[in-house]
C-alpha cells in the first residue's frame, strides 16, 4: 500500500473518531463488509479508487447529518 493511500485511510479514521462514527456503522451504511475497513487500516487490503471515494462520500454524508 502506498504512503498516499495510508494517509487517506488514516484521515478517514481520524474523521470517524472526531465524529464518533464507528467502523461498523460506516461499513453498514456504505454496504460493504465490516472487515473491509479494518483490512484497509491494517494494510491487508488496499481500496480501489472507486471504493475509497464511495466510502468517503458516505462518511461525509454521515458527518453532515
**Averaged pLDDT for residues 2-23:** 96
Q: What is the CATH number of the domain that holds 60?
A: 1.10.260
Q: For residue 18, what are the domain limits?
A: 3-64
Instruction: State the pTM of this model.
Output: 0.93
Per-residue model confidence (pLDDT) at position 1: 85
Per-residue model confidence (pLDDT) at position 50: 97
Residue holding cell 473491509?
Answer: 36
Does residue 8 contact residue 51 with C-beta atoms inside 8 Å?
no
**Averaged pLDDT for residues 19-38:** 96
Write out the three cell numbers for 58. Answer: 458516505
Per-residue model confidence (pLDDT) at position 60: 98
Per-residue model confidence (pLDDT) at position 3: 94
Q: 49-60: per-residue pLDDT in tens?
A: 999 999 999 999
Domains held by the chain: number: 1
Amino acid at each position: 500500500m502506498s504512503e498516499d493511500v495510508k494517509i487517506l485511510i488514516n484521515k478517514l479514521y481520524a474523521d470517524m473518531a472526531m465524529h464518533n462514527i464507528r467502523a461498523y456503522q460506516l461499513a453498514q451504511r456504505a454496504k460493504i463488509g465490516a472487515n473491509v475497513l479494518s483490512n484497509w487500516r491494517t494494510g491487508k487490503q488496499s481500496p480501489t479508487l472507486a471504493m475509497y471515494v464511495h466510502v468517503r462520500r458516505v462518511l461525509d454524508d454521515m458527518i453532515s447529518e
